[in-house]
Amino acid sequence: MLRITELKLPLDHSENQLKSAIIQRLGINAGQLKSHSIFRRGYDARKRDSITLIYTLDVELENEAVVLARFRDDPHIAPTPDTRYHPVAQAPQNLATRPVVIGFGPCGLFAGLLLAEMGFRPIILERGKPVRERTKDTFGLWRQREFNPESNVQFGEGGAGTFSDGKLHTQIKDPHHRGRKVLTEFVKAGAPTEILYLSKPHIGTFRLVSMIEEMRGTIEALGGEIRFQSRVEDILIENGAVRGVALANGETIDADHIVIAAGHSARDTFKMLYERGVYIEPKPFSIGFRIEHPQSLIDRCRFGSYAGHPLLGAADYKLVHHCKNGRSVYSFCMCPGGTVVAATSEPGQVVTNGMSQYSRNERNANSGIVVGITPDDYPGYPLAGIDLQRELEKRAFELGGGTYDAPGQLVGDFLAGRPSTGFGSVQPSYTPGVHLGDLSKALPAYAIEAIREALPAFDRKIPGFAMQDAVLTGVETRTSSPIRIKRNGDYQSLNTRGLYPAGEGAGYAGGIMSAAIDGIKAAEAVALNIIGKRK
Ligand code: FAD
């Protein structure tokens, strides 16, 4: 099999044109091409009126060696590499103790799956409920203002990414094919096969729910165990090494290997780890608002006359602006054709985020417009970033009227410095509701100043971005973890042996894919340690 990269075709090409392009590129006759499949398909929309598709293709040929020899010096034609993932270990027959994984988000799910596949029969502890029950609780906040602190957008089976856009792209280099492993497992669990080849794949919320249930079944069938409503309240440490965990229900579980994949909202868990002396340091994160525009505005700007083309789907964007006050403002977690969601995990607080369905056909585009901040903005002690998040989220709750409505403002009014009193052409999607007013008190002055400078700059890239009626809702504070639980090269905590900090909460991931990949790495490290090899 040979791999051809960077093969470009116009957006509206036929299957026959693709075949012809392969034949032409390789200088072969039609009979020599036995089969072809798409490994990757992206697009180049820099020229809106001539959008091209860019393919990476695997082709099976008669006389492959001869063709390959002809293209010896061509970097875009080479033998197809083996992209299968290979497990690093196999559990011994007499496994002394089972590894424990805390959290069943993407990181814990893949740590658990890999440990189970290698025969280590992990015990996975998740504070929230199974995904169907969790969905009801999450809708309880969105529809009835009833908040459950243990079962919500952040906590429960599937973790934070369950009610999301399910964007799966990552910039991570993948020499061991862990990313491919993640996508392959998702497809086995019911994701559309296109996620294997699209350059910007996404799944959407409803599919994720059934996929997660399917993957839970796989882990259990392999001897793993998943316990819901099992919040880890304490880590038992003796002589600098973990010995087990204590659950909120009083039960203790012995374990010498514990993966902590608790996500970025496990504030009580971080506090417990800090009090137990586990080494934690503060880390930069970002704060800001969600912004909503008509999706049609983004589609037109990105795709021109191709707006709405089925191969392109709803358009996304990625924006960044470096401000005069030294801050950077950027778009975060852009959700084409999606909704803004209430994403708090603590009572009396308001946090925004975004999600979508697979179809991405809601009327609004939304993204976080956030300002990067660093520990210099929240000095003091390692958990000070969490204190800042809480302060801003409580303030947002109050500015929203104390009913879980999000405080909001129209972009035109925000830029002009006047409170908003009524919506225009953009209806916000956040539920339970948006309480219009003045957002300038919702964030520190430097962040407001930076966002006020960035929006007109973004408007120069996407005309209409700073339109009067676009809606801002606040606050976006859970962009990434405000802490890092430092680990060594063997993935164990700097000062607590047997503790494997992993995923977004520990400061090693930012998104579904990177969290899942980090879960695989943590599982490999645990497995190698148990069988006596170093990672
Ligand atoms: P989490 O997913 O946060 O999982 C941690 C789990 O640990 C949770 O289930 C929690 O209940 C559990 N837990 C916490 N403390 C304890 C404890 N003490 N005991 C037991 N269990 C505990 N990323 C993308 O890549 N694409 C997207 O489109 C996208 N959209 C998003 C939309 C929303 C609304 C949100 C909230 C996030 C979105 N993200 C998206 C981010 C993505 O969800 C996270 O990066 C990812 O889920 C992090 O994975 P994780 O496993 O590290 O942590």
CA–centroid distance, 300 to ligand 1, in Å, is 33
* 518 ligand 1 Cβ < 6 A: no
For the chain, the structural domain boundaries read 2-79, 100-281+482-530, 284-476
From 14-23, 164-173, 302-311, the region with the lowest mean pLDDT: 164-173
* 269 ligand 1 Cβ < 6 A: yes
pLDDT at 166 over 90: no
> Which 3-state string (H, E, C) describes 193-255?
HHHHCECCCECCHHHHHHHHHHHHHHHHHCCCEEECCCCEEEEEEECCEEEEEEECCCCEEEC
* Ligand 1 binding pocket mutation candidate from 131, 164, 264 (most atoms within 8 A of CB): 164
Length of the chain: 535
CA nearest ligand 1 atom 10, residue: 155
User: What is residue 285's predicted lDDT score, i.e. its pLDDT?
Assistant: 98
What is the pLDDT averaged over residues 236-262? 98
User: What is residue 165's predicted lDDT score, i.e. its pLDDT?
Assistant: 80
Res. 163 pLDDT band, cuts 50 70 90: confident
CA–centroid distance, 341 to ligand 1, in Å, is 14
User: What is residue 205's predicted lDDT score, i.e. its pLDDT?
Assistant: 83
Q: Predicted ipTM?
A: 0.99
CA nearest ligand 1 atom 6, residue: 103
* 232 ligand 1 Cβ < 6 A: yes
* 102 ligand 1 Cβ < 6 A: yes
* Ligand 1 binding pocket mutation candidate from 393, 512, 514 (most atoms within 8 A of CB): 512
| Farthest-apart Cα atoms in the chain, separation | 72
Environment class of 452 (CB within 10 Å of its CB; exposed 0-12, middle 13-18, buried 19+): middle
Sign of CA dihedral 37, 41, 44, 50: positive
Q: What per-residue string of b and e applies to 368-379 under the rule 16 or more CB within 10 Å gives b? A: bbbbbbebebbe
Task: Tell me which fold the domain 2-79 belongs to.
Answer: Alpha-Beta Plaits (3.30.70)
CA–centroid distance, 104 to ligand 1, in Å, is 8
Note the Cα 443 to chain centre separation in Å.
24
User: What is residue 173's predicted lDDT score, i.e. its pLDDT?
Assistant: 83
pLDDT at 533 over 80: no
Q: For 100-281+482-530, CATH number?
A: 3.50.50.60
What is the pLDDT averaged over residues 394-400? 98
Res. 219 pLDDT band, cuts 50 70 90: very high
What is the pLDDT averaged over residues 36-40? 96
One-letter amino acid identity for 79? P
Beta bridge partners of 332: 368
pLDDT at 535 over 70: no
Q: Which atom of ligand 1 is nearest to the CA of 335?
A: 28
Q: Which atom of ligand 1 is nearest to the CA of 125?
A: 20
Q: What is the dihedral of CA 458, 462, 467, 469, to 10 degrees?
A: -110
List pLDDT tens digits, range 52-109: 999 999 999 999 999 999 999 999 999 999 999 999 999 999 888 899 999 999 999 9
List pLDDT tens digits, range 440-473: 999 999 999 999 999 999 999 999 999 999 999 9
* 341 ligand 1 Cβ < 6 A: yes
Res. 534 pLDDT band, cuts 50 70 90: low
- Tokens representing 479 are 């962009």
Q: Which atom of ligand 1 is nearest to the CA of 353?
A: 34
* 103 ligand 1 Cβ < 6 A: yes
